[in-house]
Chain A
Amino acid sequence: MKHSFLDQYSDRDSLLHRLDPRTKIIMALLFIVAVVVTPSFRWLALALYFGTVMALIIASRLPLLAVLKRSLVIMPFVLLVAIFIPFLKEGEVAGSYNIWFWQVSVTYDGLQILWSVVSKAWLSMLSLIWLTSTTKFASLLKGMERLHVPRVMVMILSFMYRYIFVLTDEVMRMKQARDSRNIGGSRFWQLKTVGNMIGTLFIRSYERAERVYAAMMSRGFDGESRTLDSLTFRRADACVGVSVGLLLVLTGVLNLLY
């Protein structure tokens, strides 16, 4: 089965696709830090950041609509966390409601903070989508390794990338096998089947892990992970990295002055 939803579009070609993964990881991280430290109510700064990430996305020739769609995936989680902010923040009351015995009120300040939290999360998400859509997962891992991200973390991510699809296929086959035999049955019965499937999947994954480990040991694995270094910074890395860095600094300075 074919899957590529993790690093879809990463096999396209553009100047940004060809950059060293380290440059892109650092750029994305700096961007997120810059976005996060921007104080609330600074809409101009956020607009500039939005422009920056959009420019990157367009320069990488990514399909705009698909990127925007994907960026919305995070929204439910952000809203779940942020939805209470307007009720808790003190300030000028925008509206107040009676829910049973409680009187709750929403403040303007709270609403502003809510919007800035949501837009900051969205901007960060866009930059990460840009990162994973312009970099193959394998080179992303290489880049992290060279940036001295702990080896264990890189290995976990690498196994995740290798086996998430194998597991997805396994779930799909199990579902097909269940649906081929499952005719009706009560809601409770169906839930129980799902529970059993999750249990089976867990045991199978565990056993697979043991076999993979045996295969690793068979090729001399001794707990240390070794890789070849094959990354080189080029001129384009310096150019793009410096210009995006400058842009971020400039926005920060503007933000202080304005």
Chain B
Amino acid sequence: MAEIVRVDNLSFAYPDGQQALADVNLRVCTGESVGLIGPNGAGKSTLILHLNGILRSNGSVRVLGSPIDDKNLKWVRGKVGLVFQNPDDQLFSPTVFDDVAFGLLNNGYGEEGVRQQVARALDWVGMSGYESRSSHHLSVGEKKRISIATVLAMSPEILVIDEPTSSLDPGSKGALTTLLKNLPMAKVIASHDLEFIRALCQRVVILDKGQIVAEGDTGSILADLPLLKAHGIIAAE
């Protein structure tokens, strides 16, 4: 299978000196869904921000074989679709249409192409007819769906989602699970929600204190209770 994203020996420290990632290696291939779990402050979000070049440290992230550099940033961001945790950060335009069209316009689509892609993306997440609504007046579940549509519109090769289930009610969570299951592209899902990870991911990576401490298929990792307890992923009694 073709590698979509490959991370080699990635280390990153924030300007204040705090080491966020140390020697992280990760591969994601076509059609694969990888769960990224770990306690608060483990570096999940920092790792995610590296996947499309928002944060860059030492050129050790490759997308479809090419290392991320200044020249291919735009291309990389079209291929790696990043969905942020808080939809209020992801949706910054006055209307839903403007938000979904934003990435397309920046990637030079013409008017006809933009309208088609926006309609397709909204249809995909089940939100057709919301084009002229203002995102402020939507429910959290609806906002999450639109957030995903903003990225889907750009036809990415891989979807990277930070905490998709945070503050969702069980009903919306179920609907989101079905939605993501039906999307064919590769996915990286960072979450604390093990039930959700189990439903969606074949492979799981545990990140703790900036390091990958375990990696394997979902069934065996999530069955290893002592491991999960040791890294604060399930409660230790």
Contact = CB atoms under 8 A, between A and B. Distances in A.
Interface in B86-120: 86, 88-95, 98, 101-103, 105-107, 111, 114-115
Contact of A220 (B74, B88, B93, B115): B74
A2 B139 CA distance: 11
Interface hub of A166, A218, A226 (most chain B Cβ within 10 A): A218
Contacts of B132: 138
B228 interface: no
Interface string A232-252: 000000000000000000000
> Which of A216, A227, A228 counts the most chain B CB atoms within 10 A?
A228
A222 B111 CA distance: 19
Interface string A203-223: 000001001101111111110
A159 interface: yes
Nearest to B102: A219
Q: How many B residues are at the interface, by size bracket?
A: 35 or more
A126 B107 CA distance: 42
A220 B77 contact: yes
B106 A220 contact: yes
Given A228-B105, A228-B114, A215 B89 contact: yes
A161 interface: yes
A227 B92 contact: no
Contacts of B164: none
Interface string B71-87: 00010011001101010
Contact of B54 (A137, A159, A162, A218): A218
Looking at B105, B137, B154, which has the most chain A CB atoms within 10 Å of its CB? Answer: B105
A222 B106 CA distance: 8
B82 A218 contact: yes
A218 B135 CA distance: 19
Given A220-B77, A220-B107, A228-B105, A162 B151 contact: no
Count class of interface residues, chain A: 20 to 34
A219 B100 CA distance: 10
A162 B84 CA distance: 17
Contacts of B74: 220, 222
Given A211-B89, A220-B78, A222-B74, A165 B103 contact: no
A151 to B, nearest CB: 13
A217 B54 contact: yes
A162 B135 contact: yes
Given A162-B135, A211-B86, A227-B98, A219 B103 contact: yes
Residue with the highest number of chain B CB atoms closer than 10 Å, among A137, A212, A229: A212
Contacts of B180: none
Contacts of A52: none
Contacts of A221: 102, 106
Contact of B150 (A211, A219, A228): A219
A218 B52 contact: yes
A219 B151 contact: yes
B134 interface: yes
B173 interface: no
Interface of B: 49, 52, 54, 74, 77-78, 81-82, 84, 86, 88-95, 98, 101-103, 105-107, 111, 114-115, 132, 134-137, 150-151, 154
